[in-house]
C-alpha cells in the first residue's frame, strides 16, 4: 500500500490543510535558492510538477506563462486560491507526474520541488519532464538526496521504510537519476540541513 501513487493522492489530500504550516517557512530559503539558479527570460513557458499548494508562486518571475500540476485535488485547489490571492494567472491541473498530458518540447522550464523523493518512480517522472521540455530546456530540482558517491547504508535504508510511508524517500541519489534521464547538471548545491537538501539546475541535452 505504501509508496504508491494512490497512497500519495490520499495522504496529500489529507495533508493539504496543514501543509503550509509545516512547509512554508521551513523551505522558503531553499526554494528561493533553487529558483534563483534558473536562467529566466520573459515569456518562458514554465511547468511546476507536484506543485502542492503553490509555495513556489511568490518566488517566480511574473512575466512567464505558468502551468502547475499536482496529483492531489486538495493541494491543487489551494494552489488555485494562492494564485488568485497573488493575482497570478496559473493553469492548474490535477495530473500524475508520471503521465504528463502535455506535448513533447512544450516547456522552457520544469520545476520539481520536493517531489522526486516522494513519487514512487522518480525515473518515470524525470523521463516525463525530459519529454515535455524543449531542447536545452531547464530542469529545476530541490529535494533531499543520499550522497551521490555512495548508496544509502543499512541504517538509512531501515529508517527509509518509515519515512517513505509518511513523508519521503531518503535513499535516492540525484546525479544518477538525472544522468540516466538525459540531463546535464549545471549547478548543484546544498541548501538545507547540511548536504541533505540540494538545489540542482540541469539542462535537457539538445
Ligand atoms: C512534499 S509536497 C511538495 C509540494 C511543492 N512542490 C512544494 O515545493 O511545496 C509533494 C507534492 O507532490 C505531489 N505528488 C506526489 N506524487 C505525485 C505524482 N505522482 N504526480 C503529481 N504530483 C504528485 C503531492 O500531492 C504533493 O503535493
Q: What is the pLDDT of residue 2?
A: 67
> How far is the centre of ligand 1, averaged over its atoms, from the C-alpha of 89 (Å)?
20
- CB 54 near ligand 1, within 6 Å: no
Ligand 1 atom closest to Cα of residue 112: 6
> Which residue do the cell numbers 504550516 mark?
21
> How far is the centre of ligand 1, averaged over its atoms, from the C-alpha of 55 (Å)?
11
pTM: 0.97
CA distance 36 to 18: 27
Summarised one tens digit per residue, pLDDT across range 14-38 is: 999 999 999 999 999 999 999 999 9
32-53: average pLDDT? 98
Mind giving me the DSSP string for 124-184? Answer: HHHHHHHHHEEEEEEEEEEEE-B-TTS---HHHHHHHHHHHHHT--S--BHHHHHHHTTEE
Summarised one tens digit per residue, pLDDT across range 74-114 is: 999 999 999 999 999 999 999 999 999 999 999 999 999 99
CATH superfamily membership of 5-204? Vaccinia Virus protein VP39 (3.40.50.150)
Q: Is pLDDT at 191 greater than 80 in this prediction?
A: yes
- CB 113 near ligand 1, within 6 Å: yes
Q: Is pLDDT at 206 greater than 70 in this prediction?
A: no
Neighbours of 83 (CB within 10 A): 18
186-195: average pLDDT? 97
CA distance 21 to 79: 14
Mean pLDDT of the chain: 96
Summarised one tens digit per residue, pLDDT across range 114-149 is: 999 999 999 999 999 999 999 999 999 999 999 999
156-174: average pLDDT? 92
Amino acid at each position: 500500500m505504501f509508496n504508491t501513487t494512490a497512497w500519495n493522492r490520499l495522504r496529500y489530500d489529507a495533508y493539504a490543510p496543514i501543509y503550509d504550516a509545516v512547509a512554508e517557512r521551513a523551505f522558503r530559503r531553499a526554494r528561493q535558492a533553487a529558483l534563483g539558479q534558473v536562467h529566466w527570460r520573459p515569456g518562458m513557458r514554465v511547468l511546476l510538477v507536484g506543485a502542492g499548494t503553490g509555495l513556489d508562486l511568490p518566488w517566480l518571475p511574473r512575466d512567464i506563462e505558468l502551468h502547475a500540476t499536482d496529483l492531489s485535488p486538495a493541494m491543487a485547489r489551494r494552489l488555485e486560491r494562492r494564485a488568485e490571492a497573488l493575482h497570478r494567472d496559473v493553469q492548474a491541473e490535477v495530473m500524475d507526474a508520471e503521465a504528463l498530458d502535455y506535448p513533447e518540447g512544450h516547456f522552457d522550464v520544469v520545476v520539481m520541488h520536493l517531489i522526486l523523493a516522494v513519487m514512487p518512480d522518480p525515473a518515470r517522472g524525470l523521463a516525463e519532464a525530459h519529454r515535455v521540455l524543449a531542447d536545452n530546456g531547464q530542469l529545476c530540482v530541490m529535494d533531499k538526496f543520499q550522497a551521490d558517491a555512495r548508496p544509502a547504508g543499512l541504517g538509512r535504508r531501515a529508517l527509509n521504510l518509515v519515512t517513505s510511508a509518511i513523508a519521503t524517500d531518503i535513499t535516492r541519489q540525484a546525479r544518477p537519476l538525472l544522468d540516466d534521464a538525459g540531463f546535464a547538471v549545471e549547478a548543484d548545491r546544498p541548501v538545507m540541513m547540511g548536504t541533505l537538501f540540494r538545489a540542482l539546475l540541469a539542462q535537457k541535452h539538445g
